[in-house]
Amino acid sequence: MRRRTLAASLGAAAAAAALVPQAAQAKTSTRCQDAYIWRNAVVNGGGWVPGIVFNETEPDLIYARTDIGGLYRWQQEPQTWKPLLDWIGQDRWGWTGVVSVATDPVETGRVYAAVGTYTNDWDPNNGAVLYSDDYGETWGAAELPFKQGGNMPGRGMGERLAVNPSDNAQVYLGTPSGNGLWRSVDHGRTWAEVAGFPNPGNFVVTPGDPYNGDNQGVVWIEFDQAGRIFVGVADPDDPLYVSADRGATWQPVPGAAEALGTADGNRTIPKQAAVDHDNGHLFIVTSWDPGPYNGPPATGRGGSIQRLALATGEWTDVTPAYDPLGAIPGFGGLTVDRHRPGTLMAATENHWYPDEVLFRSTDSGATWQTSFDYVWDADWSWPPARTDRFTLDATGSEWLTFGKTDDGPAYAIKHGWMIDALAIDPHDSDRIMWIGGTVWGTEQLTAWDAQGPLVGWDEAAGRQVALPVEPFDVGVRVEGIEETAVQDIAALGGTLVSAMGDLGGFVQTDLDRAGVMIRHPNWTSGRSLDFAGLHPDIVVGTGDVEGDTDGHVGVSLDRGATWRTTLRLDGVAGGANAGTVAVSADGTRIVWSPGNGTTAPVYSTDFGQAWTPVDGLPAGALVRSDRVDPERLYAFASGAFYASTDGGRTFAATGAAGLPAEGPVEFRAVPGRPGHLWLTGGETGGAYGMWRSVDGGATWRRVADFEEADAVGFGRARTRQGYPTIYASAKATGVQGIWRSTDEGRSWQRINDDAHQWGWTGKAITGDPDVYGRVYIATNGRGLIYGDIAD
């Protein structure tokens, strides 16, 4: 009965389609009749912030750089961050990776960003230095003849950009890949290599590896009050240079190799540096790995803290003698207090368990205190108790527990990991910010110094005791930074479900709050989502998993409020094998196509408690469901389109020709329209664009308006009986944008503008079934963007 009804409806749809004007006659306009307001569906952070930089002369001027999500400026009054690089479009998506930022201490409106995401072939473009004279409100770009690595190993080192405070027209840039030290003498407008600089670095984590095989290069630049320029280089045998003549000539600093190039026999490089001008000290932290993912080396310490007396050239090893967790794995962030000479802090990178250690010294590194300590009983039995100098308040970002609870010394919410960004406000000794799963911050930092030691010894009991301290408060300071890499979106009407890289995903009923993280199943990264078109309470998703317990597929029967796990499929290991999933319109059948490239798709009639092989589909096929007919599901693989008319048990190729055979492809089914499908994708130089079908994929017609298209989705129609509004991330007449059609594709309007492009937006897009005009956009590092008509 359903198949006969479907055939009749598809035939009627095909007849109606004949009345639709041919695609070539459609119109596109880069101006929309409706003004749009753009916001983020709030997660609060969700990515990594490798650097936080305070301006030395203007209070409350702070920049935060991200590895794939652009640059932000702190707004003191609302206590939030403002994104500054949303104007970067898809053709330059790599510029959203910010490897360094410099804020001018003389003309404080000037700011510079070194951009480029990968130094390998993952990013097709070279890097650039962006320059602004108005605090990042508008930008110019000086393109470079090489790539930069905002998301490469070592991205937390630096800063690689530095403004000369004695001549602020001079800006220096340390580069990776053997490109040396570069300099601009015109406020970043033009750049040239510093010809006399002798060492481009040579430290490589894993030679020959496409990600870890790059030369870390020239790492950071610092200036002392005498006008000398110090440059750190990723070369354990020759790690530090100085120039006393404005960069004309350079000399290696005596003793630097012995101080900076080794720690307990492990070769190390200088990761960060800071100058204490009042005491005449240059502090440098080193590590055996550039980070940010490293743990400790196989044996011994992984790094040190060294102090160079600028007046005498004397080196002193001021590495903390005590770490509650044993040998120091290496160091990440380093910062000095400009108002309290001799005060500095550093962070380990990475202990991983149970937490990272922040060190603080008030005597130029002679002695140190730790942010927490163990308290052992008389028998030294495991686990020890733990005592801390501060408490973490994750209000607004409760997901930072990642679904865990405190377990002995391992707190559910941690001080952090990969702590490369660590910065004391140069205008306020009480304020500090650091990265650690989020941006943590406090305005009570100096309370640390009044606390004294954390642990004492009880002679009578013969054991350690926690000494009384009044902990100070540390809270989330990440509001406004949205850096998730969104993989898929399901808009149910009043509920938004997202699949996200590194975080699994979220279920939100309030777009201004982070919502609930999907943790059961325990997805390390969410990959695919679907919902039953006739019963949208039923939601399914896939994600990468670790271990051998949870299956890749998750099922919710209550709009994402709770989730159940599914059977792990034999032959599909954990990790990045999630693939795609579809659920029939009535919610009774699930089709899952694993992503391991070898396991053929399967279906389930009991919400994933058992799986049966699908007949007729190749491994890795992209699967989707019809939004109206429960018996019909669809798939695509290698240029061939497939359809099922028995609820996903069997599929057959439709024989449709002309669809993309190479490149990423996406297709979606239209709500309320059985058999209506829109497909996007392909590859430059081949078939690439948008196609539509009104007969369940049997035939397709190209939408000629778009020379390229990457994602398509649907939302509430403009009129009660109208066709659902279509949204697309696509390129028309050479203009990449977010496009909307309210008349079944007869005409299109670009609804974003050049100030709102967000880098790459081709992963997923959808409208809202309840709110006309609302569109949700998946970005790769700027979170989940949504737009509403302004009025």
Catalytic residues: 67, 502
Q: In whole angstroms, what is the distance from residue 667 CA to residue 491 CA?
A: 16
Q: Which tokens belong to 390?
A: 């501060």
Q: Which tokens belong to 670?
A: 């239209």
Q: Which helix (H) or strand (E) holds 14?
A: helix 2-17
Q: In whole angstroms, what is the distance from residue 54 CA to residue 43 CA?
A: 25
Q: Which tokens belong to 96?
A: 């959203």
Q: In whole angstroms, what is the distance from residue 38 CA to residue 152 CA?
A: 30
What is the sign of the dihedral through the CA atoms of 158, 160, 164 and 169?
A: negative
Q: In whole angstroms, what is the distance from residue 161 CA to residue 276 CA?
A: 19
Residue (of 523, 460, 514, 512) closest to 487 by Cα position: 523
Q: Can you spell out the DSSP letters for 84-138? A: --TT--GGGGGGG-EEEEEE-SSSTT-EEEEE-S-SSTTS-S--EEEEESSTTSS
**Residues making up the chain, counted from first to last:** 791
Q: In whole angstroms, what is the distance from residue 776 CA to residue 288 CA?
A: 43
Start-to-end Cα distance in the chain: 46
Q: In whole angstroms, what is the distance from residue 434 CA to residue 420 CA?
A: 8
Give me the half-sphere count of Cα atoms (radius 13 Å) on the Cβ side of residue 416.
30
Asked if residues 232 and 192 have their Cβ atoms less than 8 Å apart, the reply is no
Secondary structure class of 608 (helix, strand, coil): coil
- Considering only the C-alpha atoms of the chain, give the largest distance between any 2 of them, rounded to a whole number of Å: 94
Phi first, then psi, for residue 405 (nearest 5°) are -125, 165
Q: In whole angstroms, what is the distance from residue 405 CA to residue 411 CA?
A: 7
The residue ranges of DSSP E strands in 349-418, in sequence order, are: 358-361, 369-370, 372-375, 385-388, 390-393
Residue (of 723, 710, 738) closest to 670 by Cα position: 723
Q: In whole angstroms, what is the distance from residue 304 CA to residue 738 CA?
A: 49
Q: In whole angstroms, what is the distance from residue 150 CA to residue 158 CA?
A: 12
Q: How many CB atoms lie within 10 A of CB 473?
A: 12
Show Cβ contacts of residue 782 under 8 Å, excluding neighbours closer than 6 positions.
40, 69, 70, 83, 86, 96, 482, 483, 758, 759
Q: Which helix (H) or strand (E) holds 15?
A: helix 2-17
Q: In whole angstroms, what is the distance from residue 490 CA to residue 619 CA?
A: 24
Asked if residues 554 and 523 have their Cβ atoms less than 8 Å apart, the reply is yes
DSSP state of 202: -
The structure tokens 């000629």 sit at 704
Residue (of 420, 450, 451) closest to 437 by Cα position: 420
Q: Which tokens belong to 663?
A: 């490149």
The residue ranges of DSSP E strands in 557-618, in sequence order, are: 564-565, 580-583, 590-593, 602-604, 612-613
Q: In whole angstroms, what is the distance from residue 616 CA to residue 600 CA?
A: 9
Q: Which tokens belong to 92?
A: 């330059």
Show Cβ contacts of residue 427 under 8 Å, excluding neighbours closer than 6 positions.
54, 59, 60, 338, 339
Secondary structure class of 445 (helix, strand, coil): helix
